[in-house]
Structure formats: structure tokens, C-alpha cells
Amino acid sequence: MKPVIETRELCRFYGAGDTLVKALDDVNIRIDPGEFTAIVGPSGSGKSTLLQQIGGLDIPNHGKVLLKDKPISEMSGKELSDFRRDHIGFIFQAYNLIPVLSAAENCEYIMLLQGIPAAERRERVLSMLAQVGLEGREDRLPGQLSGGQQQRVAVARAMVSQPDIILADEPTANLDSQTGMELLDMMHDLNRNEGMTFVFSTHDPKIMERASRLIYVEDGKVIREETRNG
């Protein structure tokens, strides 16, 4: 099977000299389609940096990132921006949504950039918001939704643009454990039912348990990988 994402000797350093931080140090990972993978490690271990690299948000100092065999780390500017729009879904820890747009409008946003016709946009948004359990709340502004609901909208927004992979950087870190578990279960359902590939980071042991595969990072290095059944 062709991997969705592959990194080769991926390095990202911040600062220089005495203050040099090796946020990623020779990282070689591979994500296959349909995976539900957790990147696990303590704070400052390089999880966010890794997700930014494989999502084409930042350029590596060394090595490359391949998405479906295409070296995205070599693209630049508008190319990369359009590439992210069409192939990558992002979910961040919090404040994912544009505060002046309603839940539905936030979901529509990327499709608007993609130039998808209005009728199709509307249809995809409504069905996806229903899938994440937000039926009837489509016209609420982010400020009128709870933290968990906002994260659900973020998941829905990532889903509707039909990317190759969704990258979620500690999506549950700002939620209480109950709500966090629910969000993760919902993502897992989308993974199983829609076949969407998810990579998310966490340092919460309970959240890790849901992952079908675990990549442990520490000091910018992958120290262990683990695959689970179920």
C-alpha cells in the first residue's frame, strides 16, 4: 500500500549556537491510508513541529516530507498554500474557528476557497455537521458554542474539504476528559466509517489508548512505534 505521508531524515532546528533546539532530529515515519495514529510525547518533545512539517506549514532544515510520493517540503508559497487547502485537514488545540463566521460558514470556508458550487457546499456542510452531532446549531457563532462543540465544528471543517489526511495537534488538550473522549470517539468513527486518515498528538494516556498506532517522540526523535489491534 502507498503511504499517505512519509518523512525522510526530517530535521527542524530552531535558534543557533548555544540556543539551538533540535525540535525534530532525523525523523523517519510513514503513515498509511486509513490509519488512526497518535503522536505521543511530553510537552516540548516536537509533536507540534512534526505535525506542522507533515502538514506543509513549515520548511525542514534537512530531509523531506512526501505526501503520496510528492515532496511537499520542496513546494513554496502559493503552491503550498493551495496544497494544504486541497489535501490536508488541520485541527488545533483551540480557537480553530473564525469567530465572525457561524459553524456552517466556518465549514464552508475551505470549500469556498476551493470554488465548490454553493448547493454542494451547503449539502456537505449540513450532513457533516449532523454527523458530528451539531444538527440545529449550524448558524451559531463559535462564541455561542461550548469548547467541545467548537472542536467538533473544527473536525467537520477538516472533513468537508475531503483531504487526504487530517492532522490534529492535541485536539482534546483544552477539553475536560469526558468531552475529550467523546471528541476522539467521534473522530475514530469518522476514521472507521469514512476511511479518513487521522494523525493526532497527545500526552494523555487515556486518549492514546484509542489510537490504532502510536509514535513516541522525545527530544525530537522517534523513540518507539507501536501498533495495536482494534
Ligand X SMILES: Nc1ncnc2c1ncn2[C@@H]1O[C@H](COP(=O)(O)OP(=O)(O)O)[C@@H](O)[C@H]1O
Footprint of another protein on this chain (CB under 8 A)?
48, 52, 55, 57-58, 77-78, 81-86, 88-90, 92-93, 95-96, 98-101, 109-110, 112-113, 157-158, 161
Contacts of residue 153, defined as CB under 8 A and 6 or more positions apart, other chains included, come to: 96, 97, 103, 106, 107, 129, 132, 134, 142, 145
- Contact call for residue 124 and ligand X (CB under 6 A): no
Min dist CB 25 to Mg ion, Å, is 16
- Paired with 217 in beta bridges are 222
Residue for grid cell 513546494: 75
In the list Mg ion, ligand X, another protein, none, the entry touching 152 (Cβ below 5 to 8 angstroms by class) is: none
Helices (H) and strands (E) in the chain, counts: 7, 11
Size of the site for ligand X (CB under 6 A): 11
CA–CA dist 70, 181 (Å, integer)? 34
Residue type at 63 in one-letter notation: G
In the list Mg ion, another protein, ligand X, none, the entry touching 82 (Cβ below 5 to 8 angstroms by class) is: another protein
Judged by CB under 6 A, which stretch of 46-54, 59-67, 89-97, 136-144 contacts ligand X?
Answer: 46-54
Min dist CB 114 to another protein, Å, is 8
Quick one: 47 or 124, whose CB is closer to ligand X?
47
Taking the alpha carbons at both ends of the chain, their separation in whole angstroms is 20
Q: Can you list the positions of beta strands (E) in 179-229?
A: 197-202, 213-218, 221-227
- Contact call for residue 45 and Mg ion (CB under 5 A): no
- Contact call for residue 126 and ligand X (CB under 6 A): no
- Contact call for residue 48 and ligand X (CB under 6 A): yes
